[in-house]
A and B are shown apart, each in its own frame.
Chain A
Amino acid sequence: MTRDEVILAVKDIIQTIAPDEDLSNLDLGVRLRDQIELDSMDFLDIVMELRKLYGVQVPEEDYKHLATLDGCADYLTPLLAGKELHCASKA
């Protein structure tokens, strides 16, 4: 997956977890929780979906890297380099 595809993958997961939210205008550099309604349980859902869809284990001490979409891309792109994109929600 490329960096852009990683962002698409994360947005796709978020769309599944927060289906009422409009993700079309998310700012990559702003905290996700400041842009859409996401709580700690949702955040755990993101981690769980990354595990289920891509086999990526994100340790708790690394959760801070997933605060923004840019942060997600920075952290996950190396981990997802050899993975195929799975999109469920077409975010």
Chain B
Amino acid sequence: MTTTLSSRGLPRVVITGVGLTSPNGNSLPEYRRNLLAGVSGVRPYSIRYFGPTLAGVCEFDVLRHQSKKEARRGTRAGAIAVWCANEALKDAGIDPAQRDRSRLGVFIGTTEHGNVETENEVHNVSQYGYDLRYWSHHHNPRTVANNPAGEVTLNLSLTGPAYCLGGACAAGNLGLIHALQMLQLGQVDLALGGGVSESIHTFGIFASFHAQGALATHPDPTKASRPFDKHRNGIVVAEGGCLYVLERLDDARARGARIYAEVLGYHVNSDASDFVLPDSEGQNRCMRGALAHAGLDAQAIDILNTHATSTPSGDTVECRAIAQVFSDSPRVHVNNTKSFIGHAMGAAGALELAGNLPSFDDRIVHPTINVDELDPDCALRGLVLNAPREAAQVEHIMNMSFGMLGINSAVIVGRPPS
């Protein structure tokens, strides 16, 4: 059988399933409906030591895909991953029992893993005078960096490669990119790729963003995450996850799969300039790198989903990079998903791309909400603010995710091949 190859001579890879949990939806249809209806998933939240704050909180039925014992023994990130994996496979119409389980890979991006579990154990032993005989034997399997992917393999009896990719807040894209690469290399025949985050369960992340002056506040929780607004004042931390089923185009066609999109190109690079501050030059190079990899000009991008986290400096830096790359792109629509759900950290890239995939069908671009007064420094061409907009065409979507230590990632997907 002849393999359908990309212009780079590699097998073409498509997305055929989506499983997600977001603060405003537990399936792609529900999530998309709420993105078009302006429904936020941010709410009041409280966590030990830090106290009252805001967060994007997911409410999915953990016991739909896990036994009580699995849920008790595992982690929140594991539960999110198991949910997303099962929902994605179901969405793709794939029963793992009917497949060679050694040829199914799981590649999950995480911003961090282990903070939640370690904080829990330290708190636990603090109740026993810091006597380490009370430290749980579950601590190591819960905190190893491959925990979420490993929990998926245990839940679904998968025996192929499965691990996590640590990429700060660019990690969701990394999971997708690595899944694509493993399919193109022939290492797997089916891949689950994306990202998860349990970050709202660690007080450390709230305390650290607060110490950095980067944690959002607003009297109305649903308006706290407001990228591009002149009065934005920081990040809303969120949990969530999104895993995609990816297959080689030929395999997907052979089984008559519904195809959401084709992954056309990507790029990952590093700023090498600061621990926390973003760099528009590095972001610029990342976007241009992804366009070159996909063989596209900036003018070909119809939807650009931004990373913008609602911090005063971060959004400005990113908008500078976008303005440089897309200044001659009358077709581009620029939006942001964190304004609805907060910053889902390692899940952000995957979740934010997912919310835009239905645009290939309906040509509607979901907006950035909560922009009451647009920051002049963020006044980009093509911004879709506060209400959805219909595009004349949607052929290509670019999703950007950046992270601490200067990691940048960009993924470009195209309309499902006819």
Contacts and interface: CB of A to CB of B under 8 A. Distances in A.
A77 B344 CA distance: 50
Interface in A28-44: 37, 41, 44
B136 A48 contact: yes
B68 interface: yes
A75 B128 CA distance: 25
B318 to A, nearest CB: 45
Contact of A18 (B69, B134, B137): B69
B72 interface: yes
Contacts of A44: 137
Interface string A3-40: 00000000000000111100000000000000001000
B73 A41 contact: yes
A44 B138 CA distance: 10
B137 A51 contact: no
Nearest to B63: A20
B137 A48 contact: yes
A18 to B, nearest CB: 6
A64 interface: no
Interface string A39-63: 0010011001001100001000000
Nearest to B70: A20
Contacts of A57: 133
B252 to A, nearest CB: 36
Interface string B118-133: 0000000000100001
Contact of B67 (A17, A20, A51): A20
A22 to B, nearest CB: 12
B128 A52 contact: yes
Contacts of A37: 69
Contact of A41 (B133, B134, B138): B138
Contacts of B72: 17, 19
B240 to A, nearest CB: 26
Contact of A51 (B69, B73, B133): B133
Per DSSP, are chain B's interface residues mostly helix, strand or loop, or mixed? helix
Contacts of A41: 73, 137-138
A41 to B, nearest CB: 6
Contact of A20 (B69, B133, B136): B69
A23 B199 CA distance: 36
Contacts of B137: 41, 44-45, 48
A80 to B, nearest CB: 18
A19 B134 contact: no
Contacts of A19: 68-69, 72
Contacts of B136: 48
A19 B67 CA distance: 9
A41 B128 CA distance: 21
A57 B131 CA distance: 13
A2 B138 CA distance: 31
Contacts of B138: 41
B69 A52 contact: no
B68 A20 contact: yes
B134 A48 contact: yes
B255 to A, nearest CB: 34
Nearest to A40: B137
Contacts of A17: 69, 72
Contacts of B69: 17-20, 37
B370 to A, nearest CB: 41
A20 B68 CA distance: 6
A52 B67 contact: no
A48 B139 CA distance: 13
B174 to A, nearest CB: 31
A15 B66 CA distance: 17
A19 B72 CA distance: 9
B281 to A, nearest CB: 49
Contacts of A45: 137
B147 to A, nearest CB: 14
A19 B68 CA distance: 6
11 contacts: A17-B69, A19-B69, A19-B72, A20-B67, A37-B69, A41-B137, A48-B136, A48-B137, A51-B133, A52-B128, A57-B133
Interface of A: 17-20, 37, 41, 44-45, 48, 51-52, 57
10 nearest A-B residue pairs (beta carbon): A19-B68, A44-B137, A20-B67, A20-B68, A20-B69, A18-B69, A19-B69, A41-B137, A52-B134, A51-B133
Given A17-B69, A19-B69, 15 more contacts: A17-B72, A18-B69, A19-B68, A19-B72, A20-B67, A41-B73, A41-B137, A41-B138, A44-B137, A48-B134, A48-B136, A48-B137, A51-B133, A52-B128, A52-B134
